[in-house]
Amino acid sequence: MEVTIDKQYPVAAGLDAAWQVLANINELATCMPGAQITEEIDPTHYKGSVRVKVGPAVAAFAGTIEVLAMDPQAHTLRLLGKGADKGGSSASMELTASLVAVDAGSSTLTGKAEVIVNGKFAQFGGRMMTSVSDMILAQFAEVFSQKAQALQGAAAPAAEGAAPVAAPAPPVVAREFNALGLVWALIRNFFAGLFGRRS
């Protein structure tokens, strides 16, 4: 099953700070719920994993990330991710992400992804996969924006010649993805929409 995702998200930081996050694959991975880089093979090839909780059970996916293109002038990144779990399900995603300046303190993150899913996860269907993707990407964008904002905030005192902040802010990392919570949110949203339409 193949799903195409095309989204735009506001980033509460300027282009330079946002690009520092987008261009750092290790930092970028921590924006994705449950994801982490486990090994850097070379500057364009990485190994990683994603953990998904379903109630008390935890599913783990192992995979690879290849940076296909990175353009600092155009503020664009293109990468290919592939992964599989022990149950035989697999997924691949080709992602193109770019940043556009809005003003000195904000920018827009645009992403287009072609996602192919095989195995038991393909049984959910395109509509469910799109809803799941929307929720995951919304959290990704929120954490991305927080990371970029933290970088911009850290750079501001140095640029203005002010005294450095006494204690650094804790690192911003996405929460682990809980599929049970996601399913409940989908059910709740479905009924909210259903009753909303009737009224």
CA gap 43, 13 in Å, rounded: 26
Token pair recorded at residue 70: 């990175």
Cβ(35)–Cβ(174) under 8 Å?
Answer: yes
Chain segment 58-69, per-residue pLDDT in tens: 667 899 999 999
Helix or strand holding residue 78 (H, E): strand 76-85
Residue with tokens 């919304």: 138
Q: At what angle do helices 125-160 and 15-22 cross, to 10 degrees?
A: 120
Residue with tokens 């070379």: 42
Report the topology of domain 2-159+172-198: Alpha-D-Glucose-1,6-Bisphosphate; Chain A, domain 4 (3.30.530)
The reported pLDDT for the residue numbered 167 is: 38
Cβ(63)–Cβ(81) under 8 Å?
Answer: yes
Q: What is the mean pLDDT of the chain?
A: 80
Cβ(183)–Cβ(189) under 8 Å?
Answer: no
Chain segment 87-136, per-residue pLDDT in tens: 788 888 899 999 999 998 999 999 998 888 887 767 766 777 777 777 77
